[in-house]
Amino acid sequence: MENLRYKSVFDIIGPVMIGPSSSHTAGAARIGKIVRSIFGEQPDSVDIHLYESFAKTYRGHGTDIALVGGILGMDPDDARLRESLKLAHEAGVEVAFIPHKEDRAEHPNTARLVVKKGERVLSVTGISIGGGSISVTELNGFDISLSMGSPTFIIVQQDVPGVVAQVTACLSAHHINIAKMNVTREAKGEKAIMIIEVDTKNVDDAYDQIRKIPYLDNVNFFV
């Protein structure tokens, strides 16, 4: 299980942050790392669409190296962040930056990352809202609202009757309380996404059991 762990504000700002801006570097690195964690492996390529402030200042403020560093699995305080573009090239990861300077977005610090490996494609839109905090607003075309402020499951599933009930029953059996839950689907019988915020970080046993439930394509847990 590949988790993101930010236990205090000092994990994302201050002397442990690489770069000049918490919004443009720490937040961007966190967006990249969440994309990497959801995808579950290092991609062959990533197209990085940048909007508004990100589109205009991504090179000067280190947004480019931060997003790519996150894709490579780095935290905002990783000293290798400065070399992320070089490291991505050496690892065979093709990176394309696509600034949309004239396009409007719901927030000035918006990036949409499209990662690919073979036939697999994942699209995630993230917003850096300040101080290293982020919000995820789109996942593979689904409109979502994910602040990552609480321990969170993100589960991609087939839209089959009983799957949601099996997941929630598993959480109940392990005495894990659900704080907030959202289920979105492309269409009846197609892909669906469960986003479940819970009250505890201690979910290892439940996580292992949930992964064995049929019709689940991807299970991630973020702390």
Q: Each residue of 209-222: pLDDT tens digit?
A: 999 999 998 898 88
Q: Spelled out in words, what is the top-level CATH class assigned to the domain 152-222?
A: alpha beta
Q: How confident is the model at residue 97 (pLDDT cuts 50, 70, 90)?
A: very high
Concatenating the DSSP letter of every residue in 131-190 gives TTEEEEEEETTEEEEE---S-EEEEEEE--TTHHHHHHHHHHHTT--EEEEEEEESSTTS
Name the residue with tokens 């205009």.
56
Where in the chain are the domains?
9-146, 152-222
5, 122, 145 from 152: Cα distances, Å: 12, 19, 12
Question: What pTM value is reported for the model?
Answer: 0.75
115 Cβ partners below 8 Å, 6+ apart? Answer: 35, 36, 39, 43, 45, 46, 71, 121, 122, 124
CATH of segment(s) 9-146: 3.30.1330.90
pLDDT (tens digit, 9 = 90+) per residue, 131-172? 778 889 998 888 888 877 789 998 988 999 999 999 999 999
Highest-confidence segment of 9-18, 29-38, 56-65, 87-96: 87-96
Q: Which amino acid is at 74?
A: M
- Give the long-range contacts of residues 177-185, CB within 8 A, separation 24 or more: 179/150, 180/150, 182/144, 182/145, 184/142, 184/143, 184/144, 185/159
pLDDT at residue 13 above 60? no
Q: Residue 59 pLDDT > 60, yes or no?
A: yes
Q: Is 152-222 in the same CATH topology as 9-146?
A: no
